Amino acid sequence: MILFVRDLTVIDFSYLCQQRGLLGESYIVDVELQGDLDETSMVFDFGSVKKVIKKAIDQLVDHKLAYPAQAMCLKHRQESATDILEWQSDRGLIQVASPSEAHVAIDTTVINEQSVAAFLVEQIKPLLPPNVSQLTFTLRAEKSASFYYHYSHGLKKHDGNCQRIAHGHRSTIEIYHNGMLSPRLNKYWTERWQDIYLATAEDQISAEQCQFLHANEGDWCFQYQAPQGQFEITLPATHCEIVPCDTTVECLADYIATQLQTLEAGRYKVVAYEGVGKGAIALS
């Protein structure tokens, strides 16, 4: 017998990619459990799917930075409870220092839907009762006819896991100009923020101020203290955009709307998503 749950949850996280650098992603999670019926005539109680499986997914990957532990371009060290990652991508050197709980190592050479799904099976299958013989995860991006971009960021004022300096989303955007959807402006913005790291201006520091990292000349450096600990990141300047505000989806929607007014006059409506099914609307 096979039990299934579609759209169990959404994993919002970032990962390190050899070609694209630091990449924000949002995966919708479907799950199947195969096995014999238990004494309650169930493979597994639907309520327990959320209590056990969704909770485990949230703790393992969601709002973390995932890295492929077998990749040749990775250097990893630890200083006390701080994980320090050095990633030599095709776009340049990316370095991240965060509390260990903000990172997750996946035993693979490449992070993708298949390797993350295999990791989840390995970690979660032992949590299930013995009558469940097989666990299968299907991870998928949201189907959308709209424009979208991948971004990573951190929210130092957040008291939850959004404070982690390198987590991210795959996000749809819809821009309306004078009441009409504007494919031209949507295309412009998704190209501008393709595989971007969005940083708050007040978090920028000099290379000399880094506590854990050694930046290359021309790289941009960011640091902040949050409830979970100290966070640092360095990236090539071409991998970043610095904004004069926090990088909540509310502030980003407003930032885009304000920027649009400097490009072309008119009335704007910006519908900015943070991952799947949630976001903010700004008018200007």
DSSP sequence for 120-158: HHHHHGGGS-TTEEEEEEEEEPPP-SSEEEEEEE--TT-
Mean predicted lDDT score pLDDT of the chain: 96
Question: 282 has which bridge partners?
Answer: 270
Give pLDDT, residue 39: 87
- Per-residue model confidence (pLDDT) at position 119: 98
User: Helix or strand or coil: residue 252?
Assistant: helix
pLDDT attached to residue 168:
98
Domains of the chain: 2-283 (3.30.479.10)
Instruction: Phi first, then psi: give them for residue 189, nearest 5 degrees.
Output: -75, -35
Low-confidence ranges of the chain (pLDDT < 70): none
Pairing outcome for strands 180-181 and 204-205: unpaired
- Three-state secondary-structure class, residue 17: strand
Tell me the pLDDT tens digit for each residue of 239-264. 999 999 999 999 999 999 999 999 88
Question: How many other CB atoms sit within 10 Å of the CB of residue 69?
Answer: 13
pLDDT at 78: 92
pLDDT in tens, 21-53: 999 999 999 999 999 999 889 899 898 898 999
> Whole-angstrom Cα distance, residue 283 to residue 193?
20
- Alpha-carbon distance of 54 to 209, in angstroms, equals 39
Q: What is the pTM of this model?
A: 0.95
Distance of alpha carbon 52 from alpha carbon 44, whole angstroms: 10
